[in-house]
Amino acid sequence: MTPSDEHDVDPVDLVDRSRLRDFLEPLVGLGPDLTIEVLSGGRSNLTYLLRSGSAEYVLRRRPIGAEVKGAHDMAREFRVQQALQATAVPLARVYGFCADETVMGAPFYAMSRVAGSVFHRRSDVADLSAEQSRALSEAVIDTLDILHRVDYAAVGLRDLGRPEGFVRRRIGRWLEQYRSGRHRDHDLIEPLGERLAASIPSRNDSTLIHGDFRLGNMIVRADSPAPVTAVLDWEMSTLGDPLTDLAHLLVYWDRTCGRLTHDSQSIAEHAGFLHSEDLVARYQARSGRDLTPLPFYLAFEHWRAAIIKEGIYQRALRSGEAEGVEMGATVAVHLEEAAEILGS
């Protein structure tokens, strides 16, 4: 089946159950029955729930029709999580990666299903007590610190990225993505990119980073002593500056310029959730890092969010997706925030 054909079918129909069974049986063992349903999809990677008897497994592949070069790299997601299995980073158990696109229309990997919830908006946390909200806030930061302490060479990820010049390369790549794609003209994107490139902090601090570290990419058990049960979506993980992860978390934690640019920013307004300043203080205390240059990274993450959301907006215009079209209004807000942080 070609990528163009995929648009016309139910995602479950992309799965060749016989080939899938041949792939999975040596890894996990399956009963005679096999049921498959879609857990999530859309702009994100397609996530399937597979049931066989009392066992449940999760399968991950790229979205239908995804064409962005370098995006939705399931082999990378699998490799990183496989390398981290013996560390303290909370993860699902991964079982195997399959590059054969005849099995379910794209490369995919299989992992365990982790019990818990994913919080995307304030209504998701309505039943949390203030004590649970605070404990979860602390656990999010503690998880980030645990990730940044991983000895990436010892777990076999020394070649995952090039830490030297990481931020400068990122600025260049995002500028190129904006220039090469369909976009509206935003007067601030080019000058802010130039200002960011000219003011990169001089640092030699490199760790394994997640690349999209935020509450919406975690499975949570608020009633557990360890509320974060698994970190998800590792496709953007690499070796780089850990402050990009912290800044990314903060951009999705609080309102931008006092305005909501993502539903997740309302979660921290629920009683008990820590404010951004408290998250920063906890990360500094645990990691011992100098966070003086954090404003630069916040400006960078807002600028990057603007470019990402402009791309989502343009694709939504063509597909008619209302949520993506509405996202277009937040691009300017992120740019305003980046400009204010940089003092322009």
Q: How many helices (H) and strands (E) does the chain have?
A: 11, 9
CA gap 75, 224 in Å, rounded = 31
The predicted structure's pLDDT at residue 128: 98
pLDDT given for residue 1 in this prediction: 43
What pLDDT score does 230 carry?
Answer: 98
Closest-CA residue to 156 (of 82, 97, 229): 82
Q: Does 41 have pLDDT greater than 90?
A: no
pLDDT for 23 beyond 70? yes
Name the token pair of 291.
Answer: 């966070």
Question: How far, in Å, CA of 115 to CA of 81, rounded?
Answer: 18
Q: Look at residue 315 in the predicted model and tell me its pLDDT.
A: 87
| Residue, of 284 and 317, whose pLDDT is higher | 284
63, 45 Cβ separation under 8 angstroms: yes
CATH topology of domain 122-342: Aminoglycoside 3'-phosphotransferase; Chain: A, domain 2 (3.90.1200)
Mean of the pLDDT values across residues 209-231?
Answer: 96
Q: Tokens 């008619």 map to which residue?
A: 320
Q: What is the per-residue pLDDT for 3?
A: 43
User: CATH 3.30.200.20 region(s) of the chain?
Assistant: 3-112
**Residues 160-182: what's their mean pLDDT?**
95
Please, are residues 279 and 137 in contact by the beta-carbon 8 Å criterion? Answer: yes
**Which SS3 state, helix, strand or coil, does residue 95 take?**
strand
**What pLDDT score does 319 carry?**
81
List alpha helices for 237-293, DSSP H: 242-251, 276-287
Angle, CA of 252, 66 and 174, to the nearest 5°: 50
pLDDT score at 42: 58
Residue 224 DSSP symbol: S
pLDDT at residue 65, as a whole number: 67
Nearest to 113 by CA among 166, 55, 170, 65: 55
Q: Given CATH 3.30.200.20, say whether it is the number of domain 3-112.
A: yes
pLDDT of amino acid 64: 80
**Region 253-266 average pLDDT:** 92
Q: Predicted confidence band at 248 (pLDDT cuts at 50, 70, 90)?
A: very high
Q: Where in the chain is the domain with CATH 3.90.1200.10?
A: 122-342
Identify the pLDDT of residue 48.
96
Which 3 state secondary structure label does DSSP give 329?
A: helix
Amino acid at 87: T
